[in-house]
Amino acid sequence: MLRKWISVFVTCLLFFVFVLPVQAADPAGLRQKFDSLDTVNGGNWFKDANNDQATLAWGESYVMDSYVTMYDATGDTYYLDKLATHASAVLAQRDSVRGVTDYRGLSLPAWRNGRYTRNGEYYIFAVHTGMITYPLARFAQIVAADPALQGYQAAAATFLQAAKDAVAVHDDEWVDRGDTGYYQFRPGAPYKQAGLGLPFNQYLALARTELVLYQVTGDAKYLDRAQKMFRHFKSYLAADPAADSYKWQYSAFYRSAVEDIGHAAIDVNAAFLAYRANIVFTGEDMRKFANTGAKKLILPDGKIANNIAGEGTTSYEWLFGMWAPYAQFAPAIFDTAYQKVTAMTAGGGSGLLAAAMLNKANADPSYGASKPAPERPAPGGDPGSVQKPGELIVNGDFSRDKADWGGKDVVVKTEGNGNKYGAAKYGWAFYQYVPVEPGTQYILTADTRKGTAASRARIAYFYYDAKGKQLSSKSVYYSFKGNGWEQMPASVLTAPAGASQVLIKLLVDGGSGTHDFDNVSLVKK
C-alpha cells in the first residue's frame, strides 16, 4: 500500500552526494542546515492540506515531528510555536471538523484517505492516525514536564485530547492475542487487505503514540497495547549471526519483502522509544538494530542500501539520518548520517525530520551521540571526583564539568580557586537520574549560593517505576541567609513502592536569574 510514499513528497530532488570530512559536529551549523530546509511553501509545508491523498500522514506529520525534535535539541520555543501553528491547522482538517465522512458514513475526529482504497472510497488508516498524532502527544508530554512552558498548557491539552480521540477511532480494529497484540484493517473496509493485521510500521506508528499517551496520562490501557505491539514486532525479528544484527519483513500477515529503509525508520524509532521507557527492548536489541544500520544499510562504497538486508541502493540517502539515535551503539551511524543529511539540498518532510534527528543526536548523548554514551561509573569509583563510598549522585561536585548531568540548561562554572559548581535557572532542564530501591530512605544534601535570582533555591525530585511512569514528586526549598556558600539542611527521601529511579532536578523557584549548586549528594540513610 504505502511502499512508494517517499517519492510523493520529495519535490525538486536536487540531491547530490559528496563526502564531508567527519569532525565534531557544530550545533549552530546543524541547526542552520535544518532551518535552511524548513522553507517549503514559506515554511507552511502541508499544514493546510487535508489527508484525502495522504498528504498529512506522509508529509506534514514528519514536519510536525521535526519541530518537536528540534525543540528537544535546542530548547528554543520557536519550534514549539511552529508546531502549535501547524498542529492547529492539522486539527482543522479532521473529518469531524470538515464535515466529511468515511465509507460507513461516519464523520470522526481523525483523517480519512481515499488514495489507497477501492474506487476512491474513504477509510481512516491507523498508520495515518499514528503518524499524525505522535507529535501532538509529544508536545503535550514536553509541556507537562516543564513548568516554564505553562503558557503552552491550553494548546497541550487540546492536542492531547485530539490524540486520544483519534486513537480511539481504531478501538474496534485492535486484536488482542494475550501476550501480544496489533491493529488490523477493519473487516469490510474498502481495502485489499481488509481483515488482515497491519504491517509492522503501520501498527508501530500507533504504538509510539500510545506509549507517549501512557507516559502523559498514566492510563494503563495505552501501556498494555503498546507493550503488546512491541512484543509482537520483536517476536518476528530474525537474528543475522554474520552481522550480529536484526532482519525482518514488511509484514507478518502476508508474504512480503524485506523491510525497506523508509518503513524501517518507523520500526526502529518505535523500538528505541520502547527501550528508553524500559519496555520490551533491551540494550542487546539496540546493539543488533545498530548493527543493521552500520553493517547492512551502510554499503562498502558509502552508499545507503534500499533495505535492511543490504540489498540495492536508495536515492533517498538522507533517510539514514533517522537512525541517528542508534549512534550510541554504533558510532559509524553518526558519521554517515552527518554526511548524508548535510549533503541534502531537498528531502521533503522526511528529510526535514532526518535533519532534526541529527541535531538531537548531536545535542543529547543518551539519544545518540557521535560516540557511545559513557557507562555510569560505580558510586565513589571515579578518580576524577571526590565522591565518597555509597554516593549515588555521580559528579555531584561538578569536578568533571557536565558529565552525568542532563538537560539543555546545565551550566558549570569555575571559581578563582579552581572549584567547579553548577549554575541553575528556573525550569526542568538540569537533572540526573539516580537508581533507588522501593521503601528505602535516602538523605539528600547540597551546598548552594545566592546568585542573581530573587527566588529561593530548589531541588525537585520525581520517582519513576521501571516502565517510566511517574509515581510521585516533591521539592526541597532553601532561603538564603547571606551571599556565600551555604549548606541546605539534609532532607530524608523515601522511595515509594514500585520506584526504580529518582530524577533529581536543580533549579530556582521561579522567575529569572540563577543560583549556584555544589556537592549535591544522595546516600542511603
d(CA 93, CA 354): 25
What is the band of 448 on the pLDDT scale with cuts at 50, 70, 90?
very high
The mean predicted confidence, pLDDT, of the chain is 89
The region of weakest confidence among 203-207, 243-247, 416-420 is: 416-420
Q: How large is the average pLDDT for residues 259-270?
A: 98
| CATH number for position 474 | 2.60.120.260
Domain boundary among 368, 385, 420: 368
Residue 173 counted as domain residue: yes
Q: Which residue has the higher pLDDT, 311 or 466?
A: 311
Same domain for 108 and 187: yes
Same domain for 344 and 252: yes
Same domain for 83 and 218: yes
Q: How large is the average pLDDT for residues 306-321?
A: 97
Same domain for 364 and 459: no
CB atoms within 10 A of CB 164: 21
Same domain for 211 and 122: yes
Domain boundary among 335, 350, 368: 368
Residue 1 has pLDDT above 80, yes or no: no
Residue with cell 551555604: 486
Same domain for 289 and 423: no
CA neighbours closer than 13 Å in the CB half-sphere of residue 387 = 24
Residue 326 counted as domain residue: yes
What is the reported pTM? 0.71
Residue 369 has pLDDT above 80, yes or no: no
Same domain for 96 and 36: yes
Same domain for 339 and 434: no
Q: How large is the average pLDDT for residues 356-374?
A: 65
d(CA 281, CA 278): 7
Domain boundary among 315, 337, 368: 368
What is the band of 468 on the pLDDT scale with cuts at 50, 70, 90?
confident
Residue 123 has pLDDT above 70, yes or no: yes
pLDDT at 7: 41
Residue 377 has pLDDT above 90, yes or no: no
Q: Which three cell numbers stand for residue 361?
A: 543526536
Sort residue 46 into left (φ over 0), alpha (ψ -120 to 50) or beta: alpha
Same domain for 219 and 291: yes
Same domain for 301 and 426: no
Residue 380 counted as domain residue: no
Residue 504 counted as domain residue: yes
Residue 222 counted as domain residue: yes
CB atoms within 10 A of CB 156: 22
| CATH number for position 145 | 1.50.10.20
Residue 405 counted as domain residue: no
Residue 373 counted as domain residue: no
Residue with cell 539516580: 434
Same domain for 456 and 361: no
pLDDT tens string 419-433? 999 999 988 889 999
Q: How large is the average pLDDT for residues 339-353?
A: 95
What is the band of 467 on the pLDDT scale with cuts at 50, 70, 90?
confident
Q: How large is the average pLDDT for residues 382-396?
A: 67
Q: What's the number of domains the chain is made of?
A: 2
Helix (H, G, I), strand (E, B) or coil at 255: coil
Q: How large is the average pLDDT for residues 486-497?
A: 93
The boundaries of the domain holding residue 83 are: 5-368
pLDDT tens string 28-67? 899 999 999 999 999 999 999 999 999 999 999 999 999 9
Q: How large is the average pLDDT for residues 479-485?
A: 92
What is the band of 525 on the pLDDT scale with cuts at 50, 70, 90?
confident
d(CA 331, CA 354): 17
Residue 390 counted as domain residue: no
What is the band of 203 on the pLDDT scale with cuts at 50, 70, 90?
very high
pLDDT at 13: 32
Same domain for 95 and 235: yes
The region of weakest confidence among 278-292, 335-349, 355-369 is: 355-369
